[in-house]
Structures are given as structure tokens and as C-alpha cells.
């Protein structure tokens, strides 16, 4: 029988977790054990620090529920989400890059026809996004789903409110020629939730806790890689220090102001509005 010592504990734990029945799970768990032990050795982790870490993780769990995703937020601000996104979305040249999903996506958004206003009377500057969804090989994609969500003019997402109806989110489809048209309100930059354990940790640093103005997209179509991405407003603050590392050059696009007049959905507006034009390019799935 081998009892644990400071020197052999890592080997003992790796052997034990290497018995996981699924080979991939064994690989992941044994690597996790090695890295956790190396981390504790490298920083000479004290018992007090270890307990503080456990208590922080406990609070992350306790504040989370079916709407508040504090673990996703923790992963986002630590840069882990964006690392995993980049390792797993190696699209070809010309394809629209992926970025973080974030904690505020809600499944099952209502279907919306071309040009539908997903802001449904919520205060803000009218905003139209138009463009085409196409393949890297050039052809337009008909019937592609654009699942869209965003914050309101106060930086608040539906998931942060107690509401029953879909708010600032909808699922649009491209037309036969691959075009889409979304009507909403201009999204503003906002602070990530700072009233929980992730915010408490950030408050002990000089990290900026703001995200640049953006709108979220999840694009899906059979035969193409699923694309989780954002569009960022050109020139908006915090493009250079996004707290979740989500900005990509290719996703920054002009949000153009217009005087009252004809709008991209064919209507005429009596108030100023803003437009953005963006062509999403999807990567065909490998056969
Ligand atoms: C968001 O853009 O919705 C978001 C992403 C990561 C963390 C917090 C918010
Ligand atoms: Fe967001």
C-alpha cells in the first residue's frame, strides 16, 4: 500500500482518475489533476488561500440559476471561453470569425419575418442591420437562421429581468437570395454584472469591466459550421480592452447615423436612425 506524500500525491491522483471509463474523460481529468497540483506547487498555495478559492467558487454556484450564468461569466473574464472558441473554430480564410456566446443567450427565440422590429416599442434609436449570409465558396445561403439578441439602451439583457415575453431577441431567416433585414434599437456598451463574485474579484484589480457596443448572432444552416459571433460598432469605447477578450477586427463594422427618411426595410422614419451592413460568411462542414 502506498500512502500519499507531498512528492507522490500527484502520481497517485493521476492513476486514480485515469481509471475513468471513457478514454477522453480519463485524458481530461488526469491532465486537470496534474495542472491543479502544479499550480498549487508553483504558488505555494496556503490553506487560507485554498479555502478562499473554495468559498468564491461556492458563491459562483449559489448565485447561478437558470437565468444567471456566473460560471460562464467567470470563464469569459478569465479568457478561457475565448481560448476554447478560438481552438475549436478554425474556419477557412474569408469566413466570419466566431466569438464568445456570453451568459445572456436564451434558447427558443420567436421566429421573425424579414425586417421585423425585435425592439417592440422599447426605447432607443431605431437600428437596421442588413446584409447577406453566404458560403466561403461565394453562393448565398437561403433559409439560414440568424438567432439575434442584444442589451437595451441601459445595457440590460432580458435574462437579467423578470419578464415573460421575448425581449430584444428573435430568430430571422435569410430569403432565397441570402439577404436578411433586422430592425431593433442601437445597442450601447455596458458593464458586465458586477454584483456577484466575478465582480468582487474584478474590483480587486485594474481591469475595465465594460464591453464595447455589440449585438449577438448565432447562425445555423445544415451543411455549415454553427457560427456564434457578434457585430461591434466601429469607434465605440472599449474595443481595445473588452473584458471578455471577444473583439475581432473582422467583426467591427460602421454603425451609420441617418436623418429621418427612407429606411432599409422600405418604410419611412420620422426620426433619425442608424444602419449597419454586414455579410456573414459561413464555413461548410467537413464531409
Ligand atoms: C455579453 O456580451 O452578453 C457578455 C459576454 C460575456 C460576459 C458578459 C456579457
Ligand atoms: Fe452582449
Count of the separate structural domains present in the chain: 2
- CB under 8 Å to 55, separation ≥6 — which residues? none
Q: Are residues 97 and 39 in the same domain?
A: no
- CB under 8 Å to 238, separation ≥6 — which residues? 189, 208, 210, 211, 212
pLDDT above 90 coverage of the chain, percent: 91
- Name the residue of 71, 73, 238 whose CB sits within 8 Å of the most ligand 1 atoms, as the mutation to test its pocket: 73
Q: Are residues 23 and 142 in the same domain?
A: no
**Which atom of ligand 1 is nearest the CA belonging to 244?**
6
Q: What are the residues facing 231 on neighbouring strands?
A: 215
Q: How confident is the model at residue 155 (pLDDT cuts 50, 70, 90)?
A: confident
CA dihedral 69, 72, 74, 77 (to 10 degrees): -120
Q: 2 in a domain, yes or no?
A: yes
Ligand 2 centroid vs 63 CA: distance in angstroms?
20
**27-36, 82-91, 156-165 — which is least confidently predicted?**
156-165
Q: What is the separation of C-alpha 234 from the centre of its chain, rounded to a whole number of angstroms?
A: 18
Q: Are residues 126 and 3 in the same domain?
A: no
pLDDT in tens, 32-54: 999 999 999 999 999 999 999 99
CA dihedral 271, 274, 277, 282 (to 10 degrees): -110
Q: 70 in a domain, yes or no?
A: no
pTM surpassing 0.75? Answer: yes
Q: 58 in a domain, yes or no?
A: no
C-alpha cell at 108: 427558443
Q: Whose CA is closest to atom 5 on ligand 1?
A: 102
- Domain interval for residue 187: 80-282
Average pLDDT over residues 106-115: 95
pLDDT in tens, 268-287: 999 999 999 999 999 999 86
CATH of the domain at 247: 2.60.130.10
Q: 172 in a domain, yes or no?
A: yes
| 182: pLDDT strictly greater than 90 | yes
The per-residue pLDDT of the chain, averaged, comes to 96
Q: 217 in a domain, yes or no?
A: yes
Q: 53 in a domain, yes or no?
A: no
Is the distance from CB of 178 to CB of 140 less than 8 angstroms?
A: yes
Q: Are residues 262 and 156 in the same domain?
A: yes
Q: Whose CA is closest to atom 2 on ligand 1?
A: 102
Q: Are residues 32 and 165 in the same domain?
A: no
Q: Are residues 90 and 41 in the same domain?
A: no
- Name the residue of 74, 76, 148 whose CB sits within 8 Å of the most ligand 1 atoms, as the mutation to test its pocket: 76
Q: Are residues 109 and 249 in the same domain?
A: yes
Rg (CA), the chain: 22
Residue 211 is inside which H or E element, if any?
A: strand 210-211
Q: Are residues 85 and 176 in the same domain?
A: yes
Q: 249 in a domain, yes or no?
A: yes
Q: 56 in a domain, yes or no?
A: no
- CB under 8 Å to 69, separation ≥6 — which residues? 103, 104, 159
Amino acid at each position: 500500500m502506498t500512502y500519499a506524500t507531498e512528492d507522490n500525491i500527484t502520481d497517485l491522483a493521476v492513476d486514480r482518475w485515469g481509471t475513468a471509463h471513457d478514454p477522453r474523460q480519463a485524458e481530461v481529468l488526469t491532465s486537470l489533476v496534474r495542472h491543479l497540483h502544479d499550480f498549487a506547487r508553483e504558488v505555494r498555495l496556503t490553506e487560507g488561500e485554498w479555502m478562499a478559492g473554495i468559498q468564491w467558487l461556492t458563491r459562483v454556484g449559489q448565485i447561478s440559476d437558470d437565468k444567471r450564468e456566473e460560471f460562464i461569466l467567470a470563464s469569459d473574464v478569465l479568457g478561457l471561453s475565448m481560448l476554447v472558441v478560438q481552438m475549436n473554430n478554425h474556419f477557412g480564410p474569408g469566413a466570419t470569425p466566431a466569438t464568445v456566446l456570453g451568459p445572456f443567450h436564451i434558447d427558443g427565440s420567436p421566429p421573425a419575418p424579414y425586417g421585423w422590429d425585435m425592439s417592440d416599442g422599447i426605447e432607443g434609436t431605431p437600428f437596421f442591420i442588413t446584409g447577406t449570409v453566404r458560403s466561403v465558396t461565394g453562393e448565398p445561403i437561403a433559409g439560414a437562421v440568424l438567432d439575434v439578441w442584444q442589451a437595451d439602451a441601459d445595457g440590460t439583457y432580458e435574462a437579467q429581468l423578470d419578464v415573460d415575453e421575448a425581449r430584444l431577441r428573435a430568430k430571422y431567416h435569410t430569403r432565397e437570395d441570402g439577404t436578411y433585414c433586422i430592425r431593433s434599437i442601437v445597442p450601447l456598451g455596458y458593464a458586465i454584472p458586477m454584483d456577484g463574485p466575478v465582480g468582487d474579484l474584478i474590483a480587486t484589480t485594474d481591469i475595465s469591466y465594460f464591453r464595447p457596443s455589440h449585438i449577438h448572432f448565432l447562425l445555423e444552416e445544415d451543411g455549415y459550421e454553427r457560427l456564434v459571433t457578434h457585430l461591434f460598432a466601429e469607434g465605440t469605447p472599449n474595443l481595445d480592452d473588452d473584458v471578455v477578450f471577444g473583439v475581432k477586427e473582422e467583426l467591427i463594422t460602421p454603425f451609420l447615423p441617418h436623418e429621418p427618411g427612407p429606411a432599409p426595410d422600405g418604410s419611412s422614419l420620422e426620426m433619425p436612425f442608424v444602419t449597419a451592413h454586414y455579410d456573414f460568411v459561413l464555413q461548410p462542414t467537413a464531409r
